[in-house]
Structure 1
């Protein structure tokens, strides 16, 4: 692991002092990590992997190997214990895979069949089709949050640069900002940039740019309540730690879960933490759709009409207050299925 860290740092052209400054830890610790005389914490491993652009799985496996060897040393029973642990972990993994309900498993199979079909007809993709669907996404995502722009008005603001009489400056900015945020997640997708704190904050910064500049791209410092919900988000002093756990969970599960489940989980987890003063819903939906796009799916566009919005909110609240995510996972899976079906219909397949 020490060689991994040192080589990656030198490849990036960074000094130990610079790495320490970026991570907010003592410079001496970085030197000790590279010499193998001190082991980073799990949180520090996540941050090092992101900062130094080391494959997370490679770094985590190296870290765990050294941690295990350090803990057990040359104990005579070590190998027997390791084999028992492996067996227990494998059983646990199989159990977690089986925990997906039959209903969810069935819809995921339908989605994957649609994706196979879509992959065969990618050559029929059109910039104009993509542009129209992204416009609809901006319209619906903003409508969920109370923006009163119609689809036509959203089009005029984005594509014609017009100002709509009777609509507030905030509503205009919400439209423009959201469209730019879509362009940004597509940029991340094309670069194959992994989800990390910097990117989530950048997405949020775009959403609130010009609307609430002092809070754009920054975690909240005050307690908030979710209108119409009995769920209470975590206290502000807990947000940074909750977000650290959020990214650790992502890194641990990104290659294990079905992409639809991963995307839906990230959406629910982020909006439950509610890390921002405003813009949590839009940011969470954009993060979800970044994951979907990175895995070759299409944007899951949740509608903003009353019935769709209520179904969305109710499924979320059940996940947040009853520790039961089934309804929410099914809801997102159904939205993605419908989005795939519509996309295939548009391109004539």
Structure 2
């Protein structure tokens, strides 16, 4: 189906969107207080999700602090803070430009957006057209001068438009936009411009963010709310783009329409003075408050503090990570998880002393602060560790083991979290061969939900890379 037929066709969402737009217009003008809270919500959601999808590590709460209070909480990387502020500036730019009828969308403005969001030139890991890992300098605000390629989940190398053909293709895209901007469905127009831009990938970096900014410029220009592609919905988004790659353009149009329905329904709620908080928003606010208010006080190590940290890390970080790692079990001959207390391997069961306690069950002698069958009120804890050992990679020509460990070292006023490839084997926990994640935090600074997602993604990608390297 060509782009013209898609844009003129009715989809299953067409009538619903038409009704929602009509309802929103009926409720206009919106009261100032309702407009303010809607703008705040959409600004936060767009900046957070568009950047998080590309690897920015700021949590939702940290993003809110940066955008609305100009504060930085926790150990947020300076580069990620700068990136978030720059992206917010670009959002403001497209909103202002959409209001100016004298300023048309141009290639120069698109280049300026790329320069704004990337801030300054830098070096980045890259893949050559032949699939070789390399590094390249990222030039900002300029079309690419070297090829940009990406390794697909299938392992294949996908090459975007070549540097030589990029200026011509971008010129043709802008001409296509000017020909269609005044008489075609604006949501379809925005969706297909976004897709065509991504196919070209004209810049060294920042193409996804710029494409989503321009998509929303087109929507703003047509008095529509912005599209928010949630980072948690990334798989569906990428699937829609992949379907479009093989000719199913309606897939990306339908996906963007579904996100517009969310934005319109949210806007209507705001216009009616109703709550626009979503499920989880209260938790996000509490997380932000915790970051802002509780990380300034000092807490020292006690059995209770250590035990609470252990329980939190076990449930919120290790168990989800172990569950993800277990998905690789089929690639290995054997997989086991080991636990270490103060560097010594812990058996699954402990022998109960003879005598009066010989008849007692484990539950009857369970202590209040029990970590790996050790009562830390009596046995001081200095470190704990889980190690997932994946033994003998089936596809390798030689014996290859991958051991992923998560270690917590308890210090007087802080703890050190390390996750990476572990050398631990047998009864003793040795040092890490490769530390992939390392965080030195005070005791009242815990790992947040978004950080857990990033950690699991980092570790999973490392295991995948190791399996590929040893084929």
* Alignment-derived partner of residue 182 in structure 2: 255
The CA deviation at 1:163 is 2.5
The answer to whether the Cα contact below 8 Å between 1:173 and 1:211 also exists between their aligned partners in 2 is: no
Which residue of 11, 17, 37 maps to 1:111? 17
The CA deviation at 1:99 is 7.4
Which residue of 106, 110, 133 maps to 1:200? 110
Which residue of 218, 226, 238 maps to 1:291? 218
* Alignment-derived partner of residue 252 in structure 2: 328
Which residue of 199, 206, 209 maps to 1:279? 206
**Does residue 121 of the first structure (1) align with residue 46 of the second (2)?**
no
In structure 2, how many angstroms separate the alpha carbons of the residues matched to 1:134 and 1:99?
A: 28
The answer to whether the Cα contact below 8 Å between 2:227 and 2:263 also exists between their aligned partners in 1 is: yes
**Does residue 186 of the first structure (1) align with residue 186 of the second (2)?**
no
* Alignment-derived partner of residue 313 in structure 1: 238
The answer to whether the Cα contact below 8 Å between 1:318 and 1:325 also exists between their aligned partners in 2 is: yes
* Alignment-derived partner of residue 270 in structure 2: 346
CA RMSD of aligned residues (A): 2.2
Change (3 A) 1:98 1:181: closer
* Alignment-derived partner of residue 172 in structure 1: 81
Bigger share in strand: 2
The answer to whether the Cα contact below 8 Å between 2:53 and 2:231 also exists between their aligned partners in 1 is: yes
Cα distance per residue 1:68-88 (max 9 Å; x no partner): xxxxxxxxxxxxxxxxxxxxx
In structure 2, how many angstroms separate the alpha carbons of the residues matched to 1:120 and 1:165?
A: 44
- Give the secondary-structure state (helix, strand or coil) at the position aligned to 1:255: coil
The answer to whether the Cα contact below 8 Å between 2:121 and 2:138 also exists between their aligned partners in 1 is: no
The CA deviation at 1:100 is 4.9
Cα distance per residue 1:96-141 (max 9 Å; x no partner): 5587555x2x312221221121122232152232122111110011
Whose RCO is larger (CA < 8 A, sep 6+)?
A: 1
The normalised TM-score by structure 2 is 0.50
Change (3 A) 1:247 1:161: same
In structure 2, how many angstroms separate the alpha carbons of the residues matched to 1:281 and 1:172?
A: 18
> Which ranges of 4 or more aligned residues in structure 1 deviate by more than 3 Å?
95-102, 210-214
**Does residue 155 of the first structure (1) align with residue 67 of the second (2)?**
no
The answer to whether the Cα contact below 8 Å between 1:170 and 1:211 also exists between their aligned partners in 2 is: no
**Does residue 143 of the first structure (1) align with residue 49 of the second (2)?**
no
The answer to whether the Cα contact below 8 Å between 1:173 and 1:210 also exists between their aligned partners in 2 is: no
* Alignment-derived partner of residue 50 in structure 1: none
Change (3 A) 1:218 1:249: same
Which residue of 225, 239, 263 maps to 2:166? 239
The CA deviation at 1:214 is 6.2
The answer to whether the Cα contact below 8 Å between 2:169 and 2:200 also exists between their aligned partners in 1 is: yes
Change (3 A) 1:96 1:246: closer
Gaps of 5+ in 2: 123-136, 274-471
Gaps of 5+ in 1: 1-92
Aligned pair count reads: 251
The normalised TM-score by structure 1 is 0.67
- Give the secondary-structure state (helix, strand or coil) at the position aligned to 1:118: helix
- Give the secondary-structure state (helix, strand or coil) at the position aligned to 1:194: coil
Which deviates further from its counterpart, 336-345 or 272-281?
336-345
* Larger gyration radius, structure 1 or structure 2: 2
* Alignment-derived partner of residue 410 in structure 2: none
